[in-house]
Structure 1
Amino acid sequence: MSNYEFGICPYNPDHRIMLFRMPKHIVKCEKNYRGPPLKICKYNATHRVLDMEEHLKECSYYLRSIDNRNVQIALTTRIPPIQENGYDVSTPL
């Protein structure tokens, strides 16, 4: 057997794919999918799920990011953008 890790295709559970090939496979398999729309995890785009809240409870990429001390410091020290004339300067008009 190979040394590669395998994952299950979110669009067809009968598809067992090597993880390094998953992004390309998902693009192809998504075209033929006829079920309810799946949401894309913003921490790993190969994660496609129906219920994002439930997914984030188990998503190792999300859990790793919230445990990262540097991320926590950045989130707590974030300064909101300065507004001029009632408009947010960080967004273009």
Structure 2
Amino acid sequence: MSNYSFGTCPYNKEHRIMLFRMPGHIVKCMKNYRGPPLQTCKYNAIHRVLDMEEHLKECEDYHKFTENNSFQMALSVRAQPIIYDEDAV
């Protein structure tokens, strides 16, 4: 038995793929997919889902990202955009 982790293809639930091969498989399988359009998760591109809001409640990658202290710090120190008043020039 292999030491690799397996996942299920989002386009065909009968496909079990080694996770390190999943990105390439998704590209191939997406071409033949005829169901409702799936959205790509911003936090893990191999996550393809119908309802992104529901997915983000369970997405481990999203939770890791938002719990990261550097993410919170970046939001707190982010500079406001500079808006130029063209009438003042």
Scaled to the shorter chain, the TM-score interval is over 0.9
Gaps of 5+ in 2: none
Greater per-residue helix proportion: 2
Aligned-residue Cα RMSD (Å) equals: 0.9
Once superposed, which parts of structure 1, at least 4 consecutive aligned residues long, lie more than 6 Å away? none
Provide Cα deviations, 1:43-75, integer angstroms capped at 9, x if missing partner: 011100000011101111100001000100111
Q: What is the CA–CA distance in structure 1 between the aligned matches of 2:19 and 2:8, rounded to whole Å? A: 9
TM-score normalised by the chain length of structure 1: 0.89
Larger RCO, structures 1/2 (Cα 8 Å, 6+ apart): 2
TM-score normalised by the chain length of structure 2: 0.93
Q: What is the CA–CA distance in structure 1 between the aligned matches of 2:7 and 2:80, rounded to whole Å? A: 40
Gaps of 5+ in 1: 87-93
Report the equivalent of 1:42.
Answer: 42
How many matched pairs? 86
Q: 2:16 is matched by which residue type in structure 1?
A: R
**Sequence identity percentage:** 67
